[in-house]
């Protein structure tokens, strides 16, 4: 496994710059081809109505004023007004359409990105800071919106613009056109020189920003621990360092990017000078008409270089945003390790039999956690898993829910259904999993319980809470079930959180119940009461229980001792005690090893 | 607009100077734009019309020089503003982070991580955008407009005034638009924060999402937020579209007025000349463009205002719990703890009632009691996360409120039940509270916490990186690293708040033996009798009250909660306890 990423480490992108990302973005843009085509037409129409202005102006100066022709003046003013209004109309429609298109594009990208994240395995989340994932969904997607909508339309418009101007110039004077266009290679050279550096600078900037966000998110979440350890000053120092790194990279990128317009404007002036010199010396003594050509070319020159400068700015934005786009698509390309296979069937309602056939599993290739494990649990049995820390107890239960794909072998449910051949949704819907960490979503306690079954009624949720002995403390809270809670700062104690997540699991009414250290933070008395509640619920369900306190599991139908990548012992408490093997040693150490009275 | 004033005031003087320099450069370069057109006019008149080549090179040279100087100054402007904006944002960010780090729990109850993240990223970026971009664009617009206006006045004041006739209307509509769009930007920003929060929680709770196969539900919820954000944007756009035609129409009408009113003036025999009119015609863009730019600038400024308000909320958030003015640095803490009739409540709910006890340096205090009975709050009071409502807590005979907060908290090393590890190496996590530790010492504390064995088995041992919140470690492993972290602090008071719940008894027993060697004061909060029975003083807290106190043997005699728990935990060993078979 690659080293886990932290806020200290940049996430390097291997892929070199290519148009692939833009091409990929085209998928989102193409949906709006018609609208974008329409906006192109509208923009063109707006330009044409803008072009009417100078003509009307000429008539005013040449005809209306010398002729003191008031009606003509009124007519021309009316036309001018109409042209202006028409231009505004076209521009308004364009702006209206583009606002929708640009928002729709980022809406779509965000939806796809989020949907993809829902398919990614734990390991994706485990191996990088949450803040780095978060900025991709929120900040990066926001950043690219303008590029993918207005950026593209403007790009096309400017190119069309340039082509038109070149046409006009060639028509006016092919020789002088060479002068005007002659500056272009120099400009291209400048851009070419800056481009790789600029791209690198923006990438680095996005990396540093991502690092800072990761640190930020984690330290907001863990602020209580930092305060407990009086660690704030150190954190502030680290933050300052990360913040300075962002600043440094940003400045480098921006200072580089600004050379683009500086050089284009400078080149415009140089080319203009050359044009005048050439024009004046070569055309000296020529007719007035040819001097007119020179003046016209000087005007065209500006209209040629302005779009070039605009293009350079659009390009700048592209280079900047592609750094973000790369990150977005990189996340979308993240392989979905656990996915529905082709033709995955819906898992029908099962009874709860679980069969491991030669199951081998490794998180990292070559380091097997489990090897050729065979196990057969019939429906309704309660099975406890014991063994040393790190032996793979949690792994076994995670495999049943198919949180990871097996390296070898198969897990079957009720004899026939291979878990890798049914849909994940139908599989997990029949599992009730209580994890070691009980995450509380922000919302009411009720919302959190109903997370187990979304269509449950309040009464059902309350019944579940009662069954797990959570009703007592919930009803004591200021708004009872409708008290707002959240993950970080909520006043729920660790034990209370476990009770809430227990109610959540029970409400889901699963066929197979998995309790992974689920009761470790609950006081003994409550746990005892809780167990009474669970007793009824466990009946008729298959259950897998991991607990360190052997007293809580010794009544299970079966106890499996997991160790050495295998099930080493398998039997009821009494059988295993009689066997005087590993479980016996463990049990005796717990009960008698302590000088308890 | 007070937000913008605040932004200005929050700038440090040297950044302020940079900012002002940038503004001045913006104005200067803007005015310099007027030089070349007049030189061009001379060039056309003298060189091209009259055929006099002599001044050509000189004029071109000057123009090129002017351009070069202008571009240089303009680039310098960018440098100044980028520096000013980056430095200001860096110092704002430092300040905000500072505030967050010292903020109390209640603040984090009110503000979700996703929302705070929005403030620290997107909102701050808008502040940067204001300093680096909106500012000089505004100056550009104003300077261009005013300089042209002055020029126009000198040419013909009557026509100029006629042109200006539309500006009052423009100003009024702009004001109306500005007022209408402000709340819409505020709303959009809220939707952004909500979306951020939804995504943040989905990432943080990804295991639960998977466990309940709630991916579709999560997508739906996120889509709602995404849609709301989308709608908020469109609402802004609708408002913008209401204003845009007015703005464009009125701005362009200035050009219309200049031309046709000018023409009318001439026809009607005013003293306006055709030459003067051509100045109006040629330069009317310099009045129109700034006017048209008002719209986007107003929008941006309202957007910044919305964001800056959010930044300000954090900037000015003051924790209630701070060092008292009388608090002084105390000598090395010894670890004596006294609670005197401490009462504490959250809102109306009484959490602790009349808690009194005394622990001498080096002694062990154990606290046991049902879930939610207020045990952990006791520790939070000791570390002064909250202040007591009545009564007193003394550490080394000084009220905790007379200690410097940092020193007090450094004196209390907690291994909390909420095991929050950071994405750092194992070593980094252990030395979290005491960065001076050598590698040997780190390993020693890991050994004491029974963490050395599994750490040594990791691919990079102490350099192995742990995921955020300790993902990748089992519950028991996390607790042991957290314990090592607390031990490594070598503080006068060691607090173990249910730290060994996920450990098997053997490991727990080993750890207890290790702890016995320590000379510091120990406070152990636990659910298991085995964890607490050796303590010098055991308190049973039920419903916020101390119901039993004494040593193990004494408490067993009293046959209360302690005895009951003892029996429950040793069932199978003691036949007198009642048995509950919960598995059939």
Put simply, the chain B residues between 278 and 307 with a CB less than 8 A from any chain A CB are 278, 281
Residue B121, chain A, CB below 8 Å: the answer is yes
Instruction: Identify whether the C-beta of residue A350 lies closer than 8 Å to the C-beta of residue A414.
Output: yes
Residues of chain A contacting B270 with CB distance shorter than 8 Å: none
B113 vs chain A: nearest CA distance in angstroms? 6
pLDDT range class, residue A413, cuts 50, 70, 90:
confident
Q: How far is A538 from chain B (nearest CA, A)?
A: 7
Q: Are B436 and B410 in contact (CB under 8 A)?
A: no
- Nearest-CA distance from B446 to chain A in Å? 16
pLDDT at A596: 34
> Is pLDDT above 90 for B65?
yes
**DSSP letters for A454-470:** TT--HHHHHHHHHHTT-
* Helices A174-182 and A152-172: angle between axes, nearest 10 degrees: 140
CA distances for B150 relative to A358, B41, B70, B127, B250, angstroms:
90, 20, 22, 33, 20
Query: In terms of pLDDT, which residue wins out, B241 or B572?
Result: B241
* pLDDT value at residue B67: 92
Would the pLDDT of B573 be above 50?
A: no
Please indicate if any CB of chain B lies within 8 Å of the CB of A287. Answer: no
Mean pLDDT (whole number) for A392-400: 84
The predicted-structure confidence for B103-115, as pLDDT tens digits, reads as follows 877 787 778 788 8
**pLDDT computed for residue A528 by the predictor:** 67
Nearest CA in chain B to A243: B90
Would you say residue A288 has pLDDT above 60? no
pLDDT of B86 reads 92
**Residues above pLDDT 70, as percent of chain A:** 89
What pLDDT sits at residue A511? 84
A24-37 burial code (b ≥16 CB/10 A, e <16): ebeebbeebeebbe
- Per-residue model confidence (pLDDT) at position B513: 80
Q: Distance between CA B292 and CA B345 in Å, rounded?
A: 59
Q: Which is higher by pLDDT, A520 or B265?
A: B265
Hey, which of A434-448, A518-532, B293-307 has the most confident mean pLDDT? B293-307
Measure CB to CB from residue A111 to each of B223, B412, B422 and give the nearest one.
Answer: B223
Q: How far apart are CA B94 and CA B12, in angstroms?
A: 13
Question: How many Cα neighbours within 13 Å face the side chain of B84?
Answer: 30
Contact between residue B388 and residue B356 where contact means Cβ atoms under 8 Å apart: no
What was the pLDDT predicted at A487?
64
Mean pLDDT within B513-530: 80
Asked if residue B305 lies in contact with residue B3, where contact means CB atoms within 8 angstroms, the answer is yes
**Highest mean pLDDT: which range of A180-189, A248-257, A472-481, A545-554:** A248-257
Residue B579 has pLDDT above 60, yes or no: no
Nearest by CB to B371, from A276, A522, A531: name it: A522
Secondary element (H or E) of residue B37: helix B35-42
In the stretch 304-363 of chain A, residues with CB closer than 8 A to chain B read none
Q: Indicate the SS3 state at residue A197.
A: helix
Q: HSE-up of B266 (CA within 13 Å, CB side)?
A: 23
The verdict on a CB contact (< 8 Å) between B583 and A382 is: yes
Q: DSSP of B497-528, one letter per residue?
A: ESTTTTS-HHHHHHHHHHHHT--SEEEEEES-
Which is more confident, B509 or A283? B509
How close A169 gets to chain B, by Cα (Å)?
A: 20
How far CA B565 is from CA of A253, A483, B271, in Å, comes to 65, 31, 106
Residue B52 to residues A276, A278, B59, Cα–Cα distance (Å): 13, 15, 12
Q: How far is A439 from chain B (nearest CA, A)?
A: 6
Residue of chain A whose Cα is closest to the Cα of B242 = A92
Within 8 A by CB and 6+ apart from A525, the residues are B370, B561, B564, B565, B568
Q: Is the pLDDT confidence value at A1 over 50?
A: no
Specify whether the backbone of B484 is left (phi greater than 0), alpha (psi in -120 to 50) or beta.
alpha
**C-alpha span between A61 and A401 (Å, rounded):** 83
**So what's the pLDDT on residue B584?**
30
**A118 → closest Cβ in B212, B215, B472:** B215
Sign of CA dihedral A58, A62, A66, A71: negative
Predicted confidence at residue A523, as pLDDT, reads 65
Structure confidence at residue B360 (pLDDT): 85
Q: Under an 8 A CB cutoff, do A428 and B571 touch?
A: no
Instruction: Find out if CATH 1.20.1560.10 is the number for domain A163-335.
Output: yes
* Interface touch B260/A230, C-beta < 8 Å: no
B420 contacts in chain A (CB < 8 Å): 221-222, 224-225
Nearest-by-CA chain B residue for A247: B86
Instruction: Give the pLDDT confidence score for residue B25 in this predicted structure.
Output: 94
**Is it the case that residue A58 has pLDDT exceeding 70?**
yes
CA B435 – CA B419 distance, rounded (Å) = 19
Percentage of residues in chain B having pLDDT higher than 90: 16
A380-388+430-591 under CATH 3.40.50.1100, yes or no: no
Asked if the C-beta of B225 comes within 8 angstroms of chain A's C-beta atoms, the answer is no
Give the angle A82-B296-B164 at the CA atoms, nearest 5°: 55
Distance CA A213, CA B113 (A): 12
Query: Look-up: residue for tokens 């701070």?
Result: B322
- Rounded alpha-carbon distances, angstroms, from residue B567 to A269, A481, A592, A596, B386: 94, 33, 15, 11, 35
**B207–A437 CB contact, under 8 Å:** yes
B552 touches chain A (CB under 8 A): no
pLDDT at A122 exceeding the cut of 80: no
B477:A227 CB<8 A: no
Among A259-263, A297-301, B369-373, B407-411, the range with the most confident prediction by mean pLDDT is A259-263
For residue A159, give how far its alpha carbon lies from the nearest alpha carbon of chain B (Å): 23
* Mean pLDDT confidence for A230-253: 87
Max mean pLDDT among A9-18, B237-246, B400-409, B543-552 falls in B237-246
pLDDT, mean over chain B:
83
Query: Which among A53, A36, A37, A38 has a CA at the least distance from the CA of A87?
Result: A53
Closest-CA distance, B141 to chain A, in angstroms, reads: 19
Tell me: pLDDT of A530 over 70: no
Rounded CA separation B127/B134 (Å): 10
Give the C-alpha separation, A170 to B581, whole Å: 97
Question: How much is the average pLDDT of A109-121?
Answer: 87
d(C-alpha B148, C-alpha B154), whole Å: 10
Angle between helices A232-282 and A184-221 (to 10 degrees): 170
Instruction: Tell me if A220 and B108 make a contact (CB, 8 A cut-off).
Output: yes
- Chain A, residues 517-546, CB within 8 A of chain B, namely 517, 520-528, 531-532, 534-535, 538-539
Choose among B215, B507, B568: nearest Cβ to A525: B568
Extended beta strands in A387-523, E state: 408-413, 417-418, 431-434, 443-444, 484-485, 512-516
Instruction: Indicate if the pLDDT at residue B495 is higher than 90.
Output: no
A166 close contact with B: CB closer than 8 A:
no
Range with lowest mean pLDDT among B8-22, B24-38, B333-347, B458-472:
B458-472
Q: Is B51 an 8 Å CB contact of chain A?
A: yes
Tell me, yes or no, if A382 comes closer than 8 A to chain B by beta carbon: yes
Closest chain B residue to the Cα of A108, Cα to Cα: B226
B154-165: average pLDDT? 88
ipTM of the complex: 0.81
Summarised one tens digit per residue, pLDDT across range B450-488 is 888 778 777 778 877 776 666 667 777 788 888 888 888
DSSP H helices, A60-140, are: 70-119, 122-126, 130-135
Residue owning tokens 């609670």 = B339
**Mutant choice from B66, B113, B257, B425 vs A, greatest count of A C-beta within 10 A:** B113
> Any idea which residue has 């990423």 for tokens?
A5
**Closest C-alpha among A369, A397, A501, A517 to residue B474:** A517
DSSP class per residue in B296-347: HHHHHHHHHHHHHHHHHHHHT---S----TT-BPPSS----EEEEEEEEEET
| Start-end of H helices in A283-343 | 288-333
* Domains of chain B from N-terminus onward: 2-315 (1.20.1560.10), 337-569 (3.40.50.300)
Mean pLDDT of A221-242: 81
pTM of the entire predicted model: 0.81
What pLDDT is recorded for position A144? 85
Q: Does B191 touch chain A (CB under 8 A)?
A: no
**B204 close to A (CB below 8 A):** yes
B406-434: pLDDT as tens digits: 788 888 888 776 677 777 788 888 888 77
Closest residue by Cα to residue B337 from B204, B521, B209, B490: B521
Confidence check: pLDDT of B580 > 50: no
**Domain residue spans in chain A?**
163-335, 380-388+430-591
Cα end-to-end span (Å), chain A: 48
Mean pLDDT of A246-272: 89
Q: Which residues of A touch B204 (CB under 8 A)?
A: 130, 221, 439, 487
All residues at 6 or more sequence positions from A121 whose CB lies less than 8 Å from its CB, including other chains: A336, A337, A338, A403, A404
Nearest neighbour of B203 by CB, restricted to A76, A125, A499 = A125
Contact A153, A233 (CB under 8 A): no
The verdict on a CB contact (< 8 Å) between B234 and A99 is yes
pLDDT tops 70 at residue A562: yes
User: Helix A288-333 crosses helix A20-30 at what angle (to 10 degrees)?
Assistant: 90
Among the listed residues B43, B455, B215, the one whose alpha carbon sits nearest the alpha carbon of residue A273? B43
**Which are the contacts of B21, defined by CB distance < 8 A and separation ≥ 6?**
B80
Q: What are A437's strand-pairing partners?
A: none
Residue A526's pLDDT is 65
| Distance, C-alpha B160 to centroid of its chain | 50
Identify all chain A residues contacting B227, using CB atoms and an 8 Å cutoff.
107
Here the tokens at position B565 are 């728990």
What's the pLDDT at A150? 77
Q: What is the pLDDT of residue B23?
A: 93
The pair of structure tokens assigned to B444 is 């020693």
Tell me the two tokens of residue A64.
């209306």
Lowest mean pLDDT across A140-144, A177-181, B61-65, B228-232: A177-181
Q: Which residues of A touch B223 (CB under 8 A)?
A: 111
pLDDT band at A595 (very low <50, low <70, confident <90, very high): very low
Examine the pLDDT at A66 and tell me if it is beyond 60: yes
- The token pair at B520 is 């510091």
* pLDDT given at position A251: 92
Q: A41 CB near a chain B CB, below 8 Å?
A: no
Check if B489 contacts A (Cβ < 8 Å).
Answer: yes
Note whether B100 contacts A220, CB cutoff 8 Å. Answer: yes
Rounded CA separation A225/B451 (Å): 20
CB contact under 8 A, A389 and B504: yes
Quick one: tokens of B524? 């152990």
Rounded to a whole number, what is the largest CA-CA distance in chain B? 123
In this prediction, residues B348-366 reach a mean pLDDT of 83
Q: How far is A374 from chain B (nearest CA, A)?
A: 24
Q: Token pair for residue A260?
A: 């683009």
CB pairs under 8 A between A and B: 463
**Chain A contact for B103, CB < 8 A?**
yes
């Amino acid at each position: 496994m690659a080293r886990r990423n932290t806020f200290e480490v940049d996430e390097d992108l291997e892929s070199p710059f290519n148009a692939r990302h833009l091409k990929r973005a085209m998928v989102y843009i193409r949906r709006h081809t018609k609208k974008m085509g329409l906006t192109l037409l509208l923009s063109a129409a707006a330009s044409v109505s803008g072009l009417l202005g100078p003509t009307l102006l000429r008539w005013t100066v040449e005809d209306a004023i010398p002729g003191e022709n008031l009606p003509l003046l009124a007519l021309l003013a009316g036309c001018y007004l109409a042209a202006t209004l028409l231009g505004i109309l076209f521009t308004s429609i364009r702006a209206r359409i583009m606002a929708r298109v640009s928002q729709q594009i980022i809406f779509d990208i965000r939806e796809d990105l989020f949907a993809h994240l829902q398919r990614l395995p734990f390991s994706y989340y485990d191996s990088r800071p949450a803040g780095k994932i978060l900025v991709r969904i929120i900040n990066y997607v926001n950043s690219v919106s303008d590029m993918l909508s207005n950026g593209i339309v403007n790009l096309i418009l400017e190119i069309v613009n340039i082509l038109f101007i070149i046409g006009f110039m060639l028509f006016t004077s092919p020789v002088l056109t060479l002068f005007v266009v002659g500056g272009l290679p120099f400009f291209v050279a400048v851009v070419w020189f800056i481009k790789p550096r600029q791209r690198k600078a923006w990438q680095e900037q996005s990396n540093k920003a991502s690092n800072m966000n990761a640190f930020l998110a984690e330290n907001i979440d863990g602020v209580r621990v930092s305060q407990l350890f009086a660690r704030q000053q150190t954190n502030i120092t680290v933050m300052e360092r990360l913040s300075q790194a962002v600043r440094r990279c940003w400045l480098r990128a921006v200072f580089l990017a600004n050379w683009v317009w500086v050089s284009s404007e400078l080149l415009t002036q140089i080319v203009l000078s050359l044009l005048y010199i050439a024009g004046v010396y070569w055309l000296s003594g020529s007719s007035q008409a040819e001097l007119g050509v020179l003046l016209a070319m000087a005007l065209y020159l500006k209209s040629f270089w302005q779009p070039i400068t605009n293009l350079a700015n659009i390009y700048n934005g592209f280079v900047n945003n592609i750094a973000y786009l790369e990150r977005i698509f990189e996340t979308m390309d993240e392989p979905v390790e656990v996915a529905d296979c082709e033709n995955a069937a819906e898992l029908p309602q099962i009874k709860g039999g679980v069969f491991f056939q030669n199951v081998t599993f490794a998180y990292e290739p070559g380091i097997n956690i489990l090897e050729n494990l065979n196990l057969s649990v019939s429906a309704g049995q309660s099975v406890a898993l014991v063994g040393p820390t790190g032996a793979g107890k949690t792994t076994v239960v995670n495999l049943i829910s198919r949180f990871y794909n097996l390296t070898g072998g198969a897990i079957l449910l009720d004899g026939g259904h291979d878990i890798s051949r049914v849909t994940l949704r139908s599989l997990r819907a029949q599992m009730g999993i209580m994890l070691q960490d009980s995450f509380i979503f922000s919302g009411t306690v009720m919302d959190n319980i109903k997370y187990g079954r979304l269509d449950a009624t309040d009464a059902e949720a309350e019944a579940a809470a009662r069954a797990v002995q959570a009703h007592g403390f919930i009803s004591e809270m200021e708004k009872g079930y409708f008290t707002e809670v959240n993950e970080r700062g909520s006043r729920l104690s660790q034990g209370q959180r476990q009770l809430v997540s227990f109610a959540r699991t029970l409400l889901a009414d699963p066929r197979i119940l998995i309790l992974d250290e689920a009761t470790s933070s609950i006081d003994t008395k409550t746990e005892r009461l809780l167990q009474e509640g669970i007793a009824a619920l466990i009946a008729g369900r298959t259950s897998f229980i991991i607990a360190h306190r052997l007293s809580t599991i010794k009544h299970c139908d079966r106890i499996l001792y997991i160790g050495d990548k295998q099930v080493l012992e398998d039997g009821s408490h009494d059988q295993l005690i009689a066997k005087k093997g590993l479980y016996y040693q463990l049990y005796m150490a717990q009960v008698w090893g302590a000088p308890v009275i | 607009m007070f937000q913008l004033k605040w932004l200005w005031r929050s700038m440090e003087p040297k950044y302020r100077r940079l900012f002002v320099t940038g503004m001045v450069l913006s104005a200067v370069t803007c005015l310099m734009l007027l030089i070349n057109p007049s030189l061009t006019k001379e060039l056309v008149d003298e060189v091209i019309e009259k055929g006099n080549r002599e001044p050509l090179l000189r004029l071109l040279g000057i123009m090129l020089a002017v351009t070069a100087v202008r571009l240089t100054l303009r680039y310098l402007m960018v440098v100044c503003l980028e520096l000013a904006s980056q430095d200001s944002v860096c110092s704002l960010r430092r300040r905000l982070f500072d505030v967050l780090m010292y903020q109390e729990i209640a603040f984090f109850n009110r503000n979700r991580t996703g929302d705070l993240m929005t403030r620290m990223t997107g909102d701050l970026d808008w502040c940067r955008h204001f300093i680096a971009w909106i500012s000089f664009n505004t100056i550009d617009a104003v300077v261009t407009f005013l300089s042209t206006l002055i020029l126009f006045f000198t040419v013909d004041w009557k026509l100029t005034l006629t042109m200006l006739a539309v500006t009052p209307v423009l100003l009024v509509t702009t004001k109306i638009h500005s007022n209408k769009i402000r709340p819409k930007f505020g709303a959009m920003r809220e939707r952004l924060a909500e979306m951020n929060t939804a995504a943040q929680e989905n990432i943080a709770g990804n295991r639960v999402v998977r466990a309940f196969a709630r991916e579709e539900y999560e997508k739906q919820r996120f889509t709602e937020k995404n849609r709301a954000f989308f709608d908020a944007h469109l609402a802004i756009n609708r408002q913008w579209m209401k204003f845009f035609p007015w703005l464009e129409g009125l701005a362009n009408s200035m050009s219309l007025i200049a031309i046709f009113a000018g023409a009318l003036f001439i026809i009607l025999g005013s003293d306006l000349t055709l030459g003067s009119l051509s100045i109006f015609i040629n330069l009317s863009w310099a009045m129109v463009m700034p006017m048209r730019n008002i719209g986007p600038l107003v929008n941006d400024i309202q957007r910044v205002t919305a964001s800056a308000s959010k930044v300000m909320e954090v900037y000015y958030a003051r924790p209630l719990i701070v060092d008292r003015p009388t608090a002084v640095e105390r000598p090395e803490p010894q670890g004596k703890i006294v609670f005197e009739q401490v009462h504490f409540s959250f809102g109306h709910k009484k959490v602790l009632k009349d808690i009194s006890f005394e622990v001498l340096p080096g002694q062990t205090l154990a606290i046991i009691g049902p879930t939610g009975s207020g045990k952990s709050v006791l520790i939070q009071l000791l570390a002064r996360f909250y202040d007591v409502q009545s009564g007193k807590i003394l550490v080394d005979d000084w009220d905790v409120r007379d200690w410097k907060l940092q020193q007090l908290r450094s004196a209390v090393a907690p291994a909390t039940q909420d095991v929050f590890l950071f994405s750092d190496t194992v070593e980094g996590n252990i030395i979290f509270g005491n960065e001076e530790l050598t590698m040997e010492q780190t390993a020693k504390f890991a050994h004491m916490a029974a963490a050395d064995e599994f750490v040594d088995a990791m691919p990079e041992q102490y350099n192995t990186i742990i995921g955020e919140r300790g993902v990748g470690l089992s519950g028991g492993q996390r607790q042991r690293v957290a314990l090592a972290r607390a031990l490594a602090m070598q503080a006068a008071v060691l607090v173990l708040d249910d730290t060994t719940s996920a450990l098997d008894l053997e490991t727990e027993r080993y750890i207890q033996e290790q702890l016995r060697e320590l000379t510091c004061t120990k406070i152990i909060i636990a659910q298991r009798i085995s964890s607490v029975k050796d303590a010098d003083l055991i308190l049973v807290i039920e419903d916020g009250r101390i119901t039993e106190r004494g040593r193990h043997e004494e408490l067993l005699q009293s046959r209360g909660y302690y005895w009951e728990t003892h029996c429950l935990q040793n069932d199978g060993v003691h036949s007198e306890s009642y048995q509950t078979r919960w598995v059939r």
